Amino acid sequence: MLFFLAVQLVLMTIDMLCRVRPFFLCTVGLALAASCGDDDGDLGSETGETALTSGGDGDGDGDGDGDGDGDGDGDGDGDGDGDGDGDGDGDGDGDGDGDGDGEPSGTGGSGSATSVSDSATASVDSATGDSDSSNTGETGETGETGGDESTSGDDPSTTDGSDTGTGTGDEADPAPSVSWVTPFDGATGIEADATINIAFDAAMDTASVEAAFQADSLGAVSFAWNPEATQVAVTPTVALEYATAAEPGVWPTPMTYTFRLLGTASDREGRALGEDLEVSFSTLSRVTSTLSTFRDGPDGWDDRAMSGRMHSDGALWPAEAILVGDLATNVSMRGFLSFSLRPLAEFDVAGMQVEEAILQTFTATVKGDPYADLGTAMLVEHVVFDAFDFSAYHASALQAIGPIATTAAQGNKTVDVTGALASDVAQQRQWSQFRLVFAHPTDEDGADDFVSVYGAAAQTSAAIELSVLVP
């Protein structure tokens, strides 16, 4: 009997200790109980009887959990939440705020505290030989998760954004655009046969581009595309026009042309340009003039002083009728024509184009039969000389232009000297000069064979009908 009372005393001591330290001390107590042993072998049954009479838990409080506090949660702290911290909030941290972080702020961790089961009683029963699981106390309730969603540290709404998707989605493909165009807007000096070229940065729907092209001033046009459909050449079917003026120094108003490409033009993906393209440009202006050898310039220069005829014996005849052929003395004669380019000096040489230059002479009279005796044609040579002296007679020709007359018929004779005059302009020469000859200087027949191509009046003087194009 005394032994039984001693065991009961030990169990009561263990129970009181478990109220304070439910895990560690219970384990120690169980170990002590096991070491005591059961001399008569009836301890297990007796302990079982005690457990049955005290609510099945052996602590005598009637709550079935074996902790003696009467709250049925098995933790021995009497707060009913099973976490053993005595604050009744179920989080096991003892701060009473329910968030389980050990701080009373209520904003802490997301963990949950699970109350300790009635392991003490179950262990005691095991130690005393009672294997019936019905004698063990009930497991305490799981404590609530500390804090609500709005304050939990795990709430995605309170994160720093590092794990939050941006949700940008697919960006729309950019609209096509015009990469370059010629002529560019504001261009001047465009030629009559110019082609409009438009380049895009994407393959285009050619039909939509052609439908979006507007240029009433150009008239009808044709379209030509490259294989990639990124460039189109627009060619007017009728040549562009030039503004004209009759004399140098008279500046005409340039002809202006405008074309538009509406923003409805689209690429092969159906994306439209969006913005209209408008380009204006102006063409060259045509200035026509007559350069004459029978002319006194306003500043004192005289074309006649640099024009005339020279004889093979050294005789000079400036500002006189030009005779080409030979005399009865078998002296040959050559004609020289100088046309001052000073009237063109006011133009920008770099931007000026010689469109056409036609040399015109007048056949006044013919003596003998020069076209039979001296050659089949009177020839024109492009030459340069600084002074009207005998050196010009033998000067090397820059270019053999060709025949200007082949018959003895009276009247005007012409030949194209555009290339020669353009060369003189490009070289910024003061004059454009020409020499008239026959292939054979003389036939030595003792008879006159020559052509008179220069008269003493302006109406019969040599001239160049000139047309230049200027920006």
pLDDT recorded at residue 302: 61
407 and 326 in contact (C-beta within 8 Å)?
no
371: pLDDT strictly greater than 90: yes
pLDDT recorded at residue 300: 52
Residue 330: DSSP 8-state: -
- d(Cα 133, Cα 51) in Å, to the nearest integer? 12
- Mean pLDDT for the chain? 75
Whether a cis peptide bond, with omega within 30° of 0, leads into 343 is no
HSE on the CB side for 133, CA within 13 Å?
Answer: 2
When pLDDT is averaged across residues 440-447 and rounded to a whole number, the result is 95
Look up residue 84 and give its amino acid.
Answer: G
Q: Per residue in 216-246, pLDDT tens?
A: 999 999 999 999 999 999 999 999 999 998 7
pLDDT recorded at residue 390: 92
DSSP-assigned letters across all residues of 15-79? HHHHHH-TTHHHHHHHHHHHHH--SSS-HHHHHHHHHHHTTTSSSSSSSSSSSSSSSSSSSSSSS
- CA angle (361 as vertex; 295, 467 as ends), nearest 5: 70
Phi, psi of 106 (to 5 degrees): 85, 5
pLDDT recorded at residue 461: 80
- For tokens 């702020």, the residue is 105
- d(Cα 470, Cα 378) in Å, to the nearest integer? 34
Give the CA radius of gyration of the chain.
61
Can you read off the two tokens belonging to residue 194?
A: 């110019």
| Count of Cβ atoms closer than 10 Å to residue 264 Cβ | 13
- d(Cα 428, Cα 458) in Å, to the nearest integer? 27
155: pLDDT strictly greater than 60: no
Can you read off the two tokens belonging to residue 52?
A: 């049955």
Can you read off the two tokens belonging to residue 302?
A: 């005289």
Longest CA–CA separation in the chain, Å: 185
Q: Per residue in 33-90, pLDDT tens?
A: 444 444 444 444 443 343 333 444 444 454 545 455 545 454 545 454 545 554 554 4
- Beta strands 213-214 and 332-340 are unpaired
H or E element at residue 286 = strand 285-292
Of 335, 334, 339, 337, the C-alpha closest to 307 is 337
* 49-58, 86-95, 171-180 — most confident range: 171-180
Q: Is 357 exposed, middle or buried (0-12, 13-18, 19+ CB in 10 A)?
A: buried
Question: What are the residue ranges spanned by the domains of the chain?
Answer: 2-101+113-135, 178-283, 290-470
Q: Per residue in 282-329, pLDDT tens?
A: 999 998 888 887 655 555 556 678 888 999 999 998 877 789 999 999
Query: What CATH architecture does domain 290-470 belong to?
Result: Sandwich (2.60)
- For tokens 């379209």, the residue is 223
- d(Cα 435, Cα 412) in Å, to the nearest integer? 17
Multiple choice CATH, 178-283, 1.10.540.10, 2.40.50.140, 2.60.40.3710, 3.90.700.10: 2.60.40.3710
368 and 449 in contact (C-beta within 8 Å)?
yes
Of 249, 242, 238, 239, the C-alpha closest to 189 is 242
C-alpha distances (whole Å) from 417 to each of 62, 356, 464 are 136, 8, 9
Query: The pTM is what?
Result: 0.58
When pLDDT is averaged across residues 140-149 and rounded to a whole number, the result is 44
150: pLDDT strictly greater than 50: no
